[in-house]
Amino acid sequence: MILVSQEKIDAFVAKGWWGRETLGGIFLDTAQQQPSTFAVADPPNRAELFGGAPQHWSWAELMAQVGRFSALLHAQGMQKDDVIVLQLPNCVQMHAIYLACAVCGIVVSPVPMQYREHELAHVVQSTQAKGIVSTQRLGKYPAAQEVAAMACNFPSVQWVWSFTDGSGQALPARVEDLDAALQACAPWSAAQMRAHMQRIGLTADDVFTICWTSGTESRAKGVPRSHNEWLIVGQSVADAGQMQPGAQMVIPFPFVNMAGISTSLIAWLLTAGGLHHHHPFDLEVFIRQLQDNRTDYTVAAPAVLSMLLKEPELLANVDLSRLRRIGSGGGPLAPWLVEQFAQRFGIEVINYFGSNEGAALSSTPQDIPDQQHRASYFPRLGVDGLVWKAVNAPKVKTRLVDVDSGEDILEPGRAGELRYQGPMVFQGYYNSPELTAQAFDDQGFYKTGDLFEIAGDRNQYYRFAGRHKDIVVRGGMNISCEEVESLLLSHPKVREAAVIGWPDEVLGERVCAVVVPRDGQPPPELAELVAHLRHAGKAAAFKWPERLELISELPRNPVGKVLKRVLRAQLQPVAAQGEQA
């Protein structure tokens, strides 16, 4: 399944941006070159999460499992361009399935474990998937049972496979025991896998995955990506993290989207490294993995990094001598956080911005050595006169566009939509020509929907300024919610924070801070937070919160983004009561 035009393929190949190597071919080369080297390991708490003893595979052991999966998929009648839906927690088998599909030309459509029937039905119907792979349970959630009940309604689904949890409890009707099926299947050798790739005419331009956008406001959209598109994104990750050959990683991001796959599969492949799986996130387990495994690279959300700084005893017994880079993103990074990691531990934090569609920026020490700048700014790629060290910087073009007039923004301090063009950007949403047409402008740039402004002493940076609707408009002044959230996170009593607009008859909206207090601390008061923003944050007065709501947990979507619309709906009764009082 090739969705990109031959003209574009030829242009990117001629420039040396795309190549002929497939992910399956790269894997087989590496596995044969270093068969006894460590490849992948399960989360240490696998047994309690979804059953089975944690596995620790060498590259040879992984290749044997990939060969077994490849033989099973072929015996099941799966052909090139068929789609399977994969709903599994992070585990070694995910590596084996991804790579077997890369060998067989089968398209993987991974979905988060949080997806339920509503979302799963949409994915299966949109892709006409022929098979589904799941697990018997995740915690107490009976995943295989739910998948089986849903799959009965879709004629395209020919089989459902599930790993068992080792309890001896039977799988639901119509769900096949994947462990048993694999044991009964003789694995293909490396030579057989290579021959199969050649026989089916697999190319680096074939679609490898269809991932799904978060769908916070509407149904999720399918984002197909080819081997070449994934490889160029993986190059960016490996370069940003300065990963050397054999890099050892602990990755807690879900293995189902851009952040997870680009690191756990692609950067791992490109560095021939070793990877320790983790997810769902558990701070105690995460720290234990860092303690038990000499780690070169990991990733963590800003809230986790903040917690590690505020409770340094958590890392007291961890040898961090090899950990020189930590990737972060998915939320605002506070300048103090980036600075403190460098000063206390000698660890540089990389600030990532990106999407499943392929638009990605990274603030790295090689391009932005100043830690405080790195927390707030991103390189302004693809602009004449600006040169960057990032390996893929010359391949990218960006523009900033006024969302109302459509004109290009060239001056600092004026927010506009970031638009992106390059060989890592997807070609369009799967089977959705209308949505694809809306996603690109008339110059062929992908419209990210995210607001940035030009900054820096030479106008060399982009500064994130929020999203189209993620602002509070107070008396005609636009306030970036994420900017205020970043400032609130630096308060010692704040574990997590979200900012939303609170309706006001006079000003239109006022700033409302929704805060999850830090455990073991008295909850913060509004006056404390305002004083913190005023003195420590040095924020303008119109950005100070005028209402504080304390909450035990922020609502999030399956990939961890805070659901502001759900938060507003939850707090609506509070607003109504306040108005009646």
Along the 581 residues of the chain, how does pLDDT read in single tens digits? 999 999 999 999 999 999 999 999 999 999 999 999 999 999 999 999 999 999 999 999 999 999 999 999 999 999 999 999 999 999 999 999 999 999 999 999 999 888 888 788 889 999 999 999 999 999 888 999 989 988 888 999 999 999 999 888 999 999 999 999 999 999 999 999 999 999 999 999 999 999 988 543 346 789 999 999 999 999 999 999 999 999 999 999 889 989 899 999 999 999 999 999 998 888 899 999 999 999 999 999 887 888 888 888 888 889 999 999 999 986 678 888 999 999 999 999 999 988 889 988 999 999 999 999 999 999 999 999 999 999 999 999 999 999 888 899 999 988 899 999 999 999 999 998 988 998 999 999 999 888 899 999 999 999 988 666 577 767 655 677 877 888 899 899 999 999 998 887 667 778 999 999 988 889 999 999 999 988 887 777 778 999 999 999 999 887 677 888 788 888 865 544 333 32
Fold exhibited by the domain 470-580:
GMP Synthetase; Chain A, domain 3 (3.30.300)
Strand segments, DSSP code E, in 127-205 are 131-135, 159-163, 175-177
Residues 55, 46: Cα–Cα separation, whole Å: 9
Cis previous bond, 280, omega within 30: yes
Fold entry, domain 228-468: Rossmann fold (3.40.50)
- Helix, strand and coil percent figures for the chain, each rounded to 5: 35, 25, 40
Could you tell me the pTM of the whole model?
0.82
Residue 459: how many other CB atoms lie within 10 Å: 15
CATH 3.30.300.30 location in the chain: 470-580
Residue 492: phi and psi, rounded to 5, are: -65, -20
Q: Where in the chain is the domain with CATH 3.40.50.980?
A: 21-202
- Which residue is listed with tokens 């455990």? 519
What is the fold of 21-202?
A: Rossmann fold (3.40.50)
> What residue ranges of the chain are covered by domains with CATH 3.40.50.12780?
228-468
Which residue type occupies 437?
A
Cβ contacts of 184 within 8 Å, gap of 6 or more: none
